[in-house]
């Protein structure tokens, strides 16, 4: 039995859950379940690290440890979650290594203190500074579909920003979550930096409501994300929510046909379609639809489905029987032109599936399927394509396939999505500097790049005035002269009749010098004449 990770060590508890292999349905191992005492210890350990900077050399060590143990981690992902080892390396390990390197090179510039000289002329001569402060513990709640990369990027960014993490992995992939803890332990991270707890849903909610937790980073379903967002709102906590997707791939008549088919095949069926940014809706120009679908169907039929630990397997199983049954139940409406059935035998395998021309209001076209299913519709005009793509509650990613650069830019800007790629799909997740997240029902906030750091920090602005003035213009006592001076100053700086207002201010020059200062007056005159 595997223990939870608490204050730098692994601890076994009385209660445990079983983790199941999706390839054969057999028990892989048991994992300890955290109780009230373990949760309190974890919160206490994490709280000790608020604002403590982690030595940057530890991130280099973490990168080295992950690089050295990459195959081991990929094999565990394949065994517990079900994606092929090659895919685990490409989609989970590689982006994680890339993001650590990005933070090592550029992270400091996003979080260091910055001078911000005041722009307001009245404050000329003062000093302004912006500092970014961690405000508490970050709670990371991750899904089972990318059990390593999604939480790892959130954890690394939070710890880099001096915000300790309490990480709750999915109960379906707890071994991968605990493997993350192993890597941090081997790299030598302090005991306060990361706690990994397997908990019930009720305990996860209790942790979210805990006052010491200031931020939550959640990736998962729309329904659960909405509940977490509501709780975060009630408690005034920062929340980054990356929720569902129903991604559209729009293929125009001038697209590179072979490239587009291969792109749809990979982005639709990698990870058995269990990706929030999978191609679930394929929107093809009617002139090329026939040849496109003929080629796509041929390639779909050749996909090798099987044990993800075996060489040459393209697509592994669904994560569970329940998930497979849910996907199969959604195949209503439209014509199933490939697949559409479970694969008999051990494990939770399903045929890669194509559904042609489902009704626009059907669940398979409107709802997130989260399985190896691509729904297909055709279009004649750009307006029709945009309608088909945007008429959905989700807006995570989308893609445009064309050789026309101007069209690509035009359509990209009109697609309602947080991320758009041209002649590619989904792979921008591996770009460490690019923001990742969606619009509409696909969530709030962004991960990756500087955005991940901003998500766990609060900006604090500090303004300093070391002038010798004993009183400022806008302080007590008030009177008619105050009103007159403020009205004239407002008109001179920001309204009409600037020169007239300036002339009318001359009688008050002595008071202005005394209560505002020479530098502010010079700055105001500079604003007046456009300097």
User: Given the DSSP bridges, would you call strands 238-242 and 443-444 parallel, antiparallel or unpaired?
Assistant: antiparallel
Handedness of CA 416, 421, 424, 428 (dihedral sign): negative
* End-to-end CA gap in the chain: 70
Beta strand ranges found along 252-379 (DSSP E): 279-285, 335-338, 353-356, 373-379
Give the whole-angstrom CA distance, residue 303 versus residue 506. Answer: 83
Token pair of 150 as six digits: 């999604």
The residues, any chain, with a CB within 8 Å of residue 510's CB and separated by 6 or more, are: none
Cβ burial, residue 188 (10 Å; 0-12/13-18/19+): middle
276 is catalytic: yes
Cβ burial, residue 108 (10 Å; 0-12/13-18/19+): exposed
Distance from chain centroid for Cα 141? 12
The CA–CA distances, whole Å, from 288 to 253, 301, 359, 373, 421 equal 6, 20, 21, 21, 21
Catalytic residue among 38, 276, 280, 368: 276
Give the whole-angstrom CA distance, residue 245 versus residue 389. Answer: 12
Catalytic residue among 242, 280, 416, 515: 242
Which residues carry out catalysis? 242, 276
């Amino acid at each position: 039995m595997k223990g939870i990770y608490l204050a730098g060590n692994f601890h076994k508890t009385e209660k445990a859950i079983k983790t199941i292999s999706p390839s054969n349905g057999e028990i892989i191992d048991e994992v300890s379940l955290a109780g009230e005492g373990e949760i309190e210890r974890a919160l206490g350990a994490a709280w000790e690290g608020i604002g403590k900077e982690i030595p940057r050399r530890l991130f280099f060590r973490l990168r080295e440890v992950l690089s050295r143990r990459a195959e081991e981690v990929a094999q565990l992902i394949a065994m517990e979650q079900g994606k092929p080892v090659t895919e685990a390396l490409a989609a989970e390990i590689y982006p994680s290594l890339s993001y650590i390197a990005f933070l090592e090179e550029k992270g400091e510039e996003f979080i260091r203190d910055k001078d911000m000289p005041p722009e307001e002329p009245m404050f000329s001569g003062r000093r302004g500074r912006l500092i970014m402060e961690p405000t508490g513990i970050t709670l990371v709640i991750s899904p089972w579909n990318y059990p390593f990369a999604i939480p790892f990027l959130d954890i690394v960014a939070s710890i880099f920003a001096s915000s300790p993490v309490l990480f709750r992995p999915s109960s379906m992939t707890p071994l991968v979550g605990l493997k993350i803890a192993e890597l941090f332990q081997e790299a030598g991270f302090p005991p306060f930096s990361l706690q990994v707890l397997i908990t019930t849903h009720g305990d996860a909610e209790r942790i979210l409501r805990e006052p010491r937790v200031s931020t939550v980073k959640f990736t998962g379903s729309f329904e659960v994300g909405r509940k977490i967002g509501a709780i975060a709102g009630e408690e005034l906590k920062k929340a980054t929510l990356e929720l569902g997707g129903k991604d559209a791939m729009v293929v125009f008549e001038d697209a590179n046909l072979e490239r587009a088919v291969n792109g749809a095949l990979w982005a639709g069926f990698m990870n058995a379609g269990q990706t929030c940014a999978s191609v679930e809706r394929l929107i093809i120009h009617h002139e090329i639809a026939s040849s496109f679908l003929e080629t796509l169907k041929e390639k779909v039929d050749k996909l090798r489905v099987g044990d993800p630990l075996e060489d040459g397997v393209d697509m592994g199983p669904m994560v569970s029987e329940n998930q497979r049954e849910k996907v199969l139940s959604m195949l209503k409406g439209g014509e199933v032109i490939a697949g559409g059935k479970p694969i008999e035998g051990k494990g939770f395998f399903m045929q890669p599936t194509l559904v042609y021309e489902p009704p626009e209001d059907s669940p398979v076209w409107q709802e997130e399927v989260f399985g190896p299913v691509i729904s297909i519709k055709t279009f004649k005009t750009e307006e029709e394509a945009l309608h088909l793509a945007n008429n959905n509650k989700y807006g995570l990613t989308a893609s445009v396939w064309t050789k026309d650069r101007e069209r690509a830019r035009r359509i990209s800007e009109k697609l309602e999505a947080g991320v758009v790629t041209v002649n590619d799909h989904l792979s921008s997740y591996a770009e460490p500097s690019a923001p990742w997240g969606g619009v509409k029902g696909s969530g709030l906030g962004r991960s990756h790049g500087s955005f991940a750091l901003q998500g766990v920090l609060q900006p604090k602005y500090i303004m300093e005035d070391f002038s010798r003035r004993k009183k400022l213009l806008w302080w007590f006592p008030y009177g008619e002269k105050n009103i007159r001076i403020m009205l004239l100053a407002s008109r001179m700086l920001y309204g009409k009749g600037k020169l007239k207002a300036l002339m009318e201010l001359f009688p008050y020059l002595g008071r202005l010098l005394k209560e505002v200062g020479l530098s502010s007056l010079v700055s105001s005159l500079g604003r007046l004449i456009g300097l």
